[in-house]
Amino acid sequence: MEEQKEIKKVIIPVAGLGTRFLPLSRVVPKDFFPLVDKPVIQYIIEEVKKSGIKEIIFVTSPGQKNISNYFKKSPDLEKLLIKRKRDNALKELKDLEEMFAGITFSYAVQKDPLGDGHALLQAAKLTAGEPVAVSFGDDVVDSDEPAIAQLINVFQTCNAPVVALKQLPKEKVPAYGVVAVEKIANHLYKIKKIIEKPEPSEIPSNLVIVGKYILTPEVFKYLKKATPSKKGEIILAEVFEKMLSEGKIIYGCELKGEWLECGDKMKWLKSFFYLALKDVRFRDELKQYLRTIK
């Protein structure tokens, strides 16, 4: 068993093409789609910071500048807001800068979209051979205890890869990666098998995979040796399946909290409305407005 180490870094892949969001994704990367008044990526980073992680590795596409630009300070804008006495807007800007304070960012480039496993491989050198968290931008979890922190707690106990899971109604399961499991404790499972988008007759449970993980250095060794699919892609779920077939242990953590998906237009819209109707600044007026729509 590998020596247990603290989780200090997270990989956030943001190199996806966002084809499910065309035509808007031609001009706005899906990671910057708004959820109320913040982009999706900010929710991901806030969760990471609340989980105690201060080193973020972004996997970007070539020439992608939105991420780095978003984290830069804006002295010209700050001067303009001061000049115009826009105190509320200035506070918003300062709060954003404060949120990023103490976090270091590094970048790896995925030249071609060759699968989620391939994206993670581009960041392998930046992990320095340490276990890392992974958080894909399609999944936001609204929870008192940050989702990544929940996974870290499991890792600190079991010192093995951890996959985030959520229960879904059985009729929705075939659209996801689903797991066969052995229950160990409340919210904790040992994964026995992973099936991507199973036929209804193949569904082993109603636990599906959320895009958040703790990966050990051993996972990256398997990723490096992985055989690409017919499409030329390296898929993380297939690598996990290979590990399981060779007797490696992978744990599943059923997340506490509300899973807000942002992987397609309808899911993103539902997540937007969920957060907007929960936000004390907007909910009362929004609810009143919705009642007027026929």
Listed in sequence order, the DSSP H helices in 227-264 are 236-245
Section 127-134 average pLDDT: 95
Confidence of residue 153 (pLDDT cuts 50, 70, 90): very high
In a domain, 205, yes or no: yes
Nearest to 214 by CA among 93, 92, 130, 116: 130
In a domain, 39, yes or no: yes
Print the domain residue range for 132: 9-292
In a domain, 186, yes or no: yes
Looking at the structure of the chain, the number of domains it has is 1
Considering only CA atoms, give the Rg of the chain.
Answer: 20
In a domain, 152, yes or no: yes
Confidence of residue 95 (pLDDT cuts 50, 70, 90): confident
Confidence of residue 93 (pLDDT cuts 50, 70, 90): confident
pLDDT at residue 27 in the model:
87
Section 88-93 average pLDDT: 88
Dihedral of CA atoms 46, 52, 55, 57 in degrees, nearest 10, equals -60
For residues 11 and 133, give the distance between their C-alpha atoms in angstroms, rounded to a whole number: 6
In a domain, 278, yes or no: yes
Confidence of residue 2 (pLDDT cuts 50, 70, 90): very low
pLDDT at residue 261 in the model:
95
The tokens of 211 are what?
């895009």
pLDDT at residue 71 in the model:
80
Nearest to 28 by CA among 12, 36, 39, 37: 39
Direct distance between the N- and C-terminal alpha carbons of the chain, in angstroms, rounded to an integer: 60
Angle between helices 265-278 and 283-292 (to 10 degrees): 120
CATH number at residue 269: 3.90.550.10
Section 243-255 average pLDDT: 97
pLDDT at residue 78 in the model:
85
pLDDT at residue 98 in the model:
86
In a domain, 1, yes or no: no
In a domain, 180, yes or no: yes
For the chain, percent of residues with pLDDT exceeding 70: 99
pLDDT at residue 3 in the model:
55
Phi and psi at residue 82, to the nearest 5°:
-65, -45
Section 209-232 average pLDDT: 95
User: What does the pLDDT look like over 260-275, one tens digit per residue?
Assistant: 999 999 999 999 999 9
Nearest to 24 by CA among 284, 265, 218, 294: 265
pLDDT reading at 50 higher than 60: yes
pLDDT at residue 4 in the model:
58
For residues 238 and 24, give the distance between their C-alpha atoms in angstroms, rounded to a whole number: 31
Do the beta carbons of residue 11 and residue 134 sit within 8 Å? yes
In a domain, 151, yes or no: yes
pLDDT reading at 119 higher than 80: yes
How many other CB atoms are there within 10 angstroms of residue 88's CB atom? Answer: 8
Of 92-101, 117-126, 232-241, 262-271, the poorest mean pLDDT is in 92-101
Report the mean per-residue pLDDT for the chain: 92
